[in-house]
Amino acid sequence: MLLKKLQQNKTTLYIFLIALIILILPLLTRLLHYDNSLIGDQAYYYERMANSINSNHLFTFDHLAYGGSEYIPHTYHSFLAFCSNFIPLQLFMQIFPGLLGMFSLFLFYKILRKFKLRKAYTNLSCFIFSISPIFIYLFSYPNDQYIPVSLILLSIYFIRQPTKKWIFAILPIIAISLFNIIHSLVLLIILIILRLYKQLSKKKTTITLTILITFTLAYHIPFFLRYGFPHGSNFVELNIFNSFIGDFGALISFSIPFLLISILGTLMLTSKREILPAVSFIVLTTILSYSIIPLRFYLNILLVLLVSFAIQQLLRRKWQLKSIKKMAMLAILCSLAFSTLVYINHISTSSPSNELIDSMSWLNSQNSGVVLSHQDNGFWIENLANKSTVINPSTEYISSIDATYEDVQNIFYSYHVEETLILLNNYNIKYILITPEMKQGKVWEKENQGFLLILKESPKFKKIYSLNNIEIWTYFG
């Protein structure tokens, strides 16, 4: 019965309506809780970079990063700067991803239909895709990945056109080459796989691969020669819970029910020709995506197809008791829906809070000076308070970041006043921002631990601002 309903055209419309509601919910929740402020910290970095580019088209040096640092060009920053000439930047950053999300879901639907998959399976896959945490992250949480992912879907859609319309794939392929090189590599692999399975003609494959490789190398080789390769930081501690599982608060993540059902779908594959390459490819992609974050967006699509396959197989099977079948389906759908709602609530109520924004506004009115705080607060300090920071989340092109982080940790946990003052003077620190999260395990575990005690006891420091446990201190160096 459910399979028949999934084949109906009105079911497709309902799925797209559900997707629209899911993408709107974070914005509405944000409006109710935090006066429609941008979600997360990256959004404020993007906003500041776009505004900097607009105010100075030759912007090459970021003065607010501690000591100043060379600006690393990013296509997304330039795109935002251009679009802000026609629509207010914050409004664009809130609305455009959702619109592109709906368009991407439409492309996903059309691509599956182009591969002649059944209507019921296509609708089910679109539904699972729309409620997956990765989809919600891509198209409702500010990030710089949603455009290349959408461009890849657009490229595949045009490439699969039987007529000369496939030529329209050239433009999105060129655009993909301007983003993270991982997206170009993903598209390259997709094109090769399509050719191997005879879903793409030799002519199309040759032309598209030539264009992709040529433009990718033309853009990225000079870039890497000029700025070098990005590098990780020793102090970023990731594990499978805080990085990969959404139920434990991870951001770019998968829910536990989603992963379990995808495993079930893998086990249900029956053809040896299908299962060996499919399982090998998925396992390899999963392992790589743990450290190569952009791969998770494409892994999500693979897992969506497996989850949909598992549910479809369960629906097709003959159950001795129909009531158990209904309960099983209800349990699966409820677990997926619950994880979706939890994730939406998690990203909607992410920092910054109204209190933190007010605190940054107050700090903006003070004299210039370097601010010491946890690195996660760096982008808010730089954008909202217009102050330099000692450390921020942007670490990929800063060679001395590990040494700086070690100095910051030495300050936070020090009980020695003289050694602490030397470090503060070395970084020309004037202000110290302390948030409730920093006192609740993000930095310190208890009251009067390390630097907290020095702040209270030393006459060199004075609390100049306090709002709902957000404190700003000044240092008389």
Task: Kindly give the confidence (pLDDT) of every residue in the chain, 477 residues in length, as a single tens digit, with 9 standing for 90 and above.
Answer: 566 767 777 889 999 999 999 999 998 888 887 777 899 999 999 999 999 999 988 888 888 876 678 888 999 999 999 999 999 999 999 999 999 999 999 999 999 999 988 899 999 999 999 999 999 999 999 999 999 999 999 999 999 888 788 999 999 999 999 999 999 999 999 999 999 888 888 989 999 999 999 999 999 999 999 888 877 655 555 556 567 787 777 788 899 899 999 988 888 877 656 667 777 888 888 888 888 899 999 999 999 999 999 998 888 877 777 778 778 888 888 999 999 999 998 898 888 999 999 999 999 999 999 999 999 999 999 999 999 999 888 877 777 788 888 999 999 999 999 999 999 999 999 999 999 999 998 999 988 899 999 999 999 999 999 999 999 999 987
Domain 354-475 has CATH 3.40.50.12610: yes
What is the DSSP code (8-state) at residue 63?
Answer: S
Question: For 88-200, where are the alpha helices, taking DSSP H only?
Answer: 89-114, 119-130, 133-140, 146-159, 170-176, 181-196
Relative to beta strand 69-70, strand 61-62 is antiparallel
| CB contact set of 388 (below 8 Å; sequence gap of 6+) | 63, 64, 65, 66, 368, 369, 370, 371, 382
Alpha-carbon torsion, ordered 354, 355, 356, 361, to 10 deg: 90
Residue with tokens 């010491």: 372
Q: Are 368 and 404 in contact (CB under 8 A)?
A: no
Pairing, β 370-372 against β 69-70? unpaired
Note whether 454 and 414 are within 8 A (CB).
yes
User: What are the sequence ranges of the domains in the chain?
Assistant: 2-49+76-144+231-348, 354-475
Block residue for tokens 């109204």: 354
